[in-house]
Every structure is written in C-alpha cells, then in structure tokens.
Amino acid sequence: MYKGECLNSQLLRIMGETGHTDLICVCDAGFPVPQNVEKVDLAWKPGKPGFIEVCRMLGDNMVLEKVYLAEEIKKKNQAVLQEFTDLFPNIELVFMSHEELKKLSKSCRAVVRTGEFSAYSNCIFAAGCAF
C-alpha cells in the first residue's frame, strides 16, 4: 500500500504521467478551469485545502523548474506570494497578467482546484527533469 502524503488517486496518476516541461495548474476556488483540461477538484469547503498546502505537496513529490504566476498577486495578495516564494526559493518565477495565465492554463495536463478563497492564488508549474 502507498504510504506517501497524497492520497488522491487522480492526482497521483497525473504526477506519475507528467514529463519534463509539462504544465500543471494549481488554482483557487474561483479560477475558470478550461473545458478540455483534466480537473482535479480537491475543494471541499472555503479555504480547504489551501493553495499553499497543495503547492507544498506537489513540490515535495515532483521536480519543478519554473512557475507562472499572475502579476496581480504582487499587489493584491502579498502574503500568499511571500509564502509561495519562501516555499520555492530555487524555482524560476515568471509573472504574466491574470488573463495570460488563464490562457496558458488551456495547455496544462491538469488543473488542480483548491478551496482557496484569496485573490490570485493561482500558479502553473512547469515540471523539471529528475536527471
């Protein structure tokens, strides 16, 4: 039996199938998930699970080389941005408009929806390579 911290079978499968440069979006409860992208809906109540909590789990279980964030987070949600940058000090951050981030989400392998209820708590991770 698997003994890791992620118990969601859909998310485990996606992490296992993800290759170098593939994109995975982690979003707040209000982010519009594109129709043709697989949705992993973890939200079960406002704030649960949180954005940072889910990002931490992905970072603990995957090689990540780059992350895309909305430029708007710098002014509208500095607390989450600070937590995020503290969590991932060695990952390249690429900022773009929220509209551009929504467009990029159409290219993701999956969108992981959290219960986060704070503005612009969305990112798109680019997978790295383990060797």
CA distance 38 to 56: 21
Annotated active-site residue 20? The verdict is yes
Of the candidates 4, 13, 17, 20, the residue annotated as catalytic is 20
The SS3 call for residue 120 is coil
Q: How far apart are CA 55 and CA 87, in angstroms?
A: 9
d(CA 33, CA 37): 7
List the catalytic residues: 20
